Structure 1
Amino acid sequence: MKKQLLSLLLIAQFGFGQSGVPANPYYNGMNWTLTGMNLKSALATKITTTHTNFLTYSQDWNATQATDLNPTNSNNVLLLYGFSSTTCPSSTSDDNDHRERNSMSNGGGNSCEWNREHVYAKSLGTPALVDGALSSADSDAGEDAHHLRSCDVDRNGNRGNLKFAAGSGDSSPVTGGWYPGNEWKGDVARMMMYMYLRYPSQCLPINVGTGATVSTDTNMIQLFLQWNAEDPVSLYEDNRNTYHGNTTNTFAQGNRNPFIDNPYLATVIWGGPVAENRWPTVFLSSQSFLAENAVSIYPNPTNSNEIEIATEEEITKLTLVSINGQIIKEIVNPIFNQNTYKINDLPQGFYFLQINAEKGSLTKKIIVN
């Protein structure tokens, strides 16, 4: 428990990388106390500055053949929007609905081949995405491997540039657009969130999806938040992310999709349905966070070896931890007197105070002189 709590507090306050969650050193330096548009901006900076290898469109073939492999059959790639397990060609099934195909059957002119689906349809970008850049200076969203997925040639054509819309069951055209299918809707949502952060003016969610928008960010649609929560991350998605985050891989971009690493980041940024939280030691509350001004601590710094905590929130636990990870005090269901609680006999030092309440949690720094 000490190690987990220390990880939470150090990451939250200073962004130190830990061997725990988030395990990948990719997130060193992130400040996990940020929420809303501040967290969105910080993640956008992270995925942009770490995008160091700009792939050409021909190299995207190689990347897709490496990243889109079926975790249970490494000879085949999984096909976005696919759902049938029959073999192509087949007399009993539409040949464009297959879920996987041999990884070497890539192309574009045969109904039993697969090609690269621009999940953010090129024509919907502002400006439209291109996929024939000559150099990294010209490269844009059209060649970003994080939204290029293997897809049946014909099914790719069926989707075309239709916007994503609500539906159920297998992938198909629906009123108002294209439903990607129950298995793929979370993948689509997380890709669209990544593209929005990476290309914030070119790849707006409202241009590629339908439905109501989020009140705090009118470029984000609620449908993607719903899909992100309803369809958890798969091993297939994790494998893609791991490949691109490792710059020793020849066709890796160097950056990751944070919403695959933890779908709950979308909840912290935009709210909506609560998505899977894969970093419980970073985000202790699965529902919400207390506002910074919801709790006051005074005096801070203190010269009297004591502090008073003032709040109108229903506090369930107070945990004081030293910079070295030692739990100094842990007070369950503290009894407040006129909305204040005093902690005394504090030794000199620097501390983190984790405040858990009915409505969420908050971490404060404490200095005892």
Structure 2
Amino acid sequence: MKKNYFLLLLLSVTIGFAQIPSGYYNTATGTGYTLKTQLYNIIKGHTDNGYAGLYTTYQTSDVDNFYENDGTVLDMYSENPSGTDPYNYSTGSTQRCGNYSAEGDCYNREHIIPQSVFNEQSPMVADAHFITPTDGKVNGMRSNYPHGTVSSATYTSQNGGKLGSSSVSGYSGTVFEPINAFKGDIARMYFYFATRYENTVAGYSYAMFDGSSNKVFTTAFLNLLLAWHAQDPVSAREIARNNAIYTRQNNRNPYIDHPEYVNQIWGGTPSGDTQAPTTPTSLASTSKTATSISLSWTASTDNVAVTGYDVYANSAYKTTVSSTTATITGLTASTTYSIYVKAKDAAGNASASSNTISVTTNSSGTGTATDLLFSEYIEGSGNNKALEIANNTGSSVSLSAYTIKKQTNGAGSWSTGLALSGTLTTGSKFVIVNSSISSSCFSPSSANISTTATELTFNGNDAVGLFKNGVLIDIIGTFNGGTANFAIDVTLRRKSTVTSPSTTFNLSSQWDSFSQDTCNNLASKIAKPIEEGVVELSDEIVVFPNPSDGIFNIVLDNSDSPYSIEILSFSGQKVFEKQNATDSVISVSHLSSGIYIAKITRDSKTTIKKIVIN
């Protein structure tokens, strides 16, 4: 699991290594499988706290002190390392259970190596070093399938974990692929199991195992685990978890304490890998500003594992990412760039270039959207269905040219369409709901349109499109995507960094996910009549510089008069507030880049300003 805060990681690593008992690895002096046996003799015979004891261990071993830092259960199958978690669990609560119907219902215990492999025998069945707390639904979907790279997903969890057909060389079955942030964590759990149970592992039947007690893994799966270990180094979270489990079990995962042991035993670069990944496809621009371009593409596959993607603009290397999205920054305004992507694997093999796209950055400082776009999507229980459209263009837009259409179950043609009408002012939202939506979610009378039309009876596999003059300009879901659910029992809100519509749906880069029936943000910015006594003060209040780096100045005609300020993201969420302010400089450098709305009130008069943070 990777961490972005280097200083925190450095401090955590220093503390973590200081907690390795003195002399613990003194007898680990060999190389190859000799070293592995020496480690086995060090970590064997650990304290067995029993299966129920895992939940006690989790109260210290699997606590989120690294992302939201909120003390909730850190679940590798639901954690969103770069945004809001879709749901959370509390340690030691009664939320743990064995019954579930959807994500977020309960958490239980996930054996990274399935219990059936070792016939649920002790002490394996209760060894916390490879058993983690995870959402019950995702745990159930993973079932007993091996971990691997997915070629075609049949199920995708809310944090991006995938179940589907294998792209691991020589294995054609179903595999489960975790998100990149936890692939190294899981690989080191496999290496721990292969070492701790060296005396029995040869007798276990599992698709990833080769029946030996030394190598343990088939060549293809070993190469995969080596690649995951290399691309996702040991994190502060893993070190803290290792220390907590040591306190309970009195043994450690040596590959967290000494990551170099992996290469010393099994070798580093996947052996004999000369096969390049397949070519990335469907490269597209999802949004752009004056100085940046955001991209998405369809993943490549590899006989071992894709470890990253190199992004190029005008034939110059720009960045490397491990996901299928990227943002190129530091570009020049009003300039056209030719962009392509290459995939690579752990052995250094590179794919052919993807399709090349031509993208022109915006005029400097504008940062406005090119057209209307979907800003929120609710696919809740019963008829709790809603869509929200935002106008971030900088001017009022007539809705007469726009319609919403739906494709049913990922097949067939678009519906006839639900026509929109009226005028949507800039900075406002237009809300369409199913007329049978529960009043506890949203009042139908508060919507711009309340209807039973087919476009508002969508399910998690029904693509929904926004059309302008009959041409698709924005989409939620994948047209002709089949029956696989892309967004079921979930609320989606457009990220503030997405300021323009896109005909390519990318959940992770464009949307934040929330649990079923999260309705509190819907219509947060529907245009309302200006209240009496509230006037536009654009001539009296000046905000500069704009674009800003997160620190901007507010100049009023009378600096002695206090004011209040609220800052909203384009999804309508309040991200900053200050009352009775007299400061001439406001710092919101903690906010991510994007477009925000600042509402400044002084002496019962209000002005609205657009703030662009680079």
Residue number in structure 2 paired with 1:5: none
With 216-225 and 40-49 compared, the bigger mean Cα shift is at 216-225
2:64–2:74 Cα contact (<8 Å) kept: yes
- Return the letter of the residue paired with 1:58: A
**What are the superposed Cα offsets for residues 203-259 of structure 1, whole Å, 9 maximum, x if unpaired?**
469955649999x8253522111111111112221111111223xxxxx00000001
Secondary structure of 1:70 counterpart: coil
1:40–1:269 Cα contact (<8 Å) kept: yes
Change (3 A) 1:207 1:189: farther
CA distance in 2, matches of 1:76, 1:151: 12
Change (3 A) 1:206 1:189: farther
Residue number in structure 1 paired with 2:107: 114
- Return the letter of the residue paired with 2:241: R
CA distance in 2, matches of 1:180, 1:224: 12
- Alignment counterpart, residue 31 of structure 2, candidates 31, 35, 41: 35
Secondary structure of 2:110 counterpart: strand
Consecutive unaligned residues of structure 2, counting only runs of 5 or more, are: 1-14, 152-158, 166-172, 271-614
Residue number in structure 2 paired with 1:171: 161
Secondary structure of 2:44 counterpart: helix
Query: Is residue 188 from structure 1 mapped to residue 194 from structure 2 by the alignment?
Result: no
Residue number in structure 1 paired with 2:48: 54
Displacement, 1:191?
0.6
Residue number in structure 2 paired with 1:343: none
CA distance in 1, matches of 2:243, 2:37: 23
Consecutive unaligned residues of structure 1, counting only runs of 5 or more, are: 1-18, 89-97, 131-138, 247-251, 275-369
Displacement, 1:83?
4.2
Residue number in structure 2 paired with 1:78: 74
**What are the superposed Cα offsets for residues 149-194 of structure 1, whole Å, 9 maximum, x if unpaired?**
0100100000000011124993111313111221221111111111
Query: Is residue 253 from structure 1 mapped to residue 249 from structure 2 by the alignment?
Result: yes
Residue number in structure 2 paired with 1:157: 140
**What are the superposed Cα offsets for residues 271-297 of structure 1, whole Å, 9 maximum, x if unpaired?**
0239xxxxxxxxxxxxxxxxxxxxxxx
1:163–1:207 Cα contact (<8 Å) kept: no
Residue number in structure 2 paired with 1:102: 90
**What are the superposed Cα offsets for residues 12-65 of structure 1, whole Å, 9 maximum, x if unpaired?**
xxxxxxx9977622543624541001100000110004x1x2111111111112
CA distance in 2, matches of 1:120, 1:32: 25
TM-score (norm 1): 0.55
CA distance in 1, matches of 2:257, 2:25: 16
Residue number in structure 2 paired with 1:269: 265
Indicate the structure (1 or 2) with the bigger Cα radius of gyration: 2
CA distance in 2, matches of 1:239, 1:32: 22
Displacement, 1:71?
1.4
CA distance in 2, matches of 1:59, 1:198: 19
Residue number in structure 2 paired with 1:197: 195
Question: Which fold has the larger relative contact order, with Cα–Cα distance below 8 Å and residues 6 or more apart in sequence?
Answer: 1
Residue number in structure 2 paired with 1:141: 124
2:148–2:176 Cα contact (<8 Å) kept: yes
Secondary structure of 2:180 counterpart: coil
Change (3 A) 1:188 1:36: same
**What are the superposed Cα offsets for residues 131-162 of structure 1, whole Å, 9 maximum, x if unpaired?**
xxxxxxxx320111111101001000000000
Residue number in structure 2 paired with 1:242: 243
Change (3 A) 1:23 1:145: closer
**What are the superposed Cα offsets for residues 84-121 of structure 1, whole Å, 9 maximum, x if unpaired?**
45566xxxxxxxxx5x4322232222442111111111
CA distance in 2, matches of 1:87, 1:245: 28
Greater helix fraction, Structure 1 or Structure 2:
1
- Return the letter of the residue paired with 1:226: A
Change (3 A) 1:60 1:28: closer
CA distance in 2, matches of 1:205, 1:166: 26
- Return the letter of the residue paired with 2:190: M
Secondary structure of 1:178 counterpart: strand
1:205–1:219 Cα contact (<8 Å) kept: no
Secondary structure of 1:102 counterpart: coil
- Alignment counterpart, residue 20 of structure 2, candidates 18, 24, 40: 24
Percent sequence identity over aligned pairs:
30
Displacement, 1:261?
1.1
CA distance in 1, matches of 2:59, 2:240: 12
Change (3 A) 1:66 1:83: closer
CA distance in 2, matches of 1:173, 1:226: 19
CA distance in 2, matches of 1:155, 1:21: 33
